[in-house]
Amino acid sequence: MLREQAGLTIEEAARITRSSISSAYRHERGESAPTELAIEVLRLVAENHRKARPESKFRFIDLFAGIGGLRSGFDTIGGKCVFTSEWDKYAVLTYRKNFREDPEHIFGGDIREFTNDAEALKTIPEHDVLLAGFPCQPFSIAGVSKKNALGRSHGFLDETQGTLFFNVAQVIKHHKPRAFLLENVKNLERHDKGRTFQTIMNVLRNDLGYHVRSKVLSSRPWVPQGRERIFIVGFLEETDFSFDHVRVPDGPGPKLGSILASDVNPKYTLTAHLWQYLRNYKAKHMAKGNGFGYGLFGPNDVARTLSARYYKDGSEILIDQGNGKRPRRLTPQECARLMGFARDGKEWIIPVSDTQAYKQFGNAVVVPVVEAVANAMRPHILALVQREVG
* HSE, side-chain direction, 13 A CA sphere, residue 29: 7
Is residue 136 among the annotated active site residues?
yes
Tell me how far CA of residue 104 lies from CA of 48, 101, 129, 137, 231, in angstroms: 18, 9, 16, 32, 28
CB 99 within 8 A of CB 1: no
Q: Cα–Cα distance between 381 and 374 in angstroms, integer?
A: 10
Alpha helices in 195-270 (DSSP H): 195-202
User: Are the beta carbons of 226 and 302 closer than 8 angstroms?
Assistant: yes
CA distance 115 to 111: 7
Q: Give burial (CB, 10 Å; 0-12/13-18/19+) of 263.
A: exposed
From the candidates 2, 136, 302, 385, which is the catalytic residue? Answer: 136
C-alpha 103/C-alpha 7 separation (Å) is: 9
Q: Which residues are tagged catalytic?
A: 136
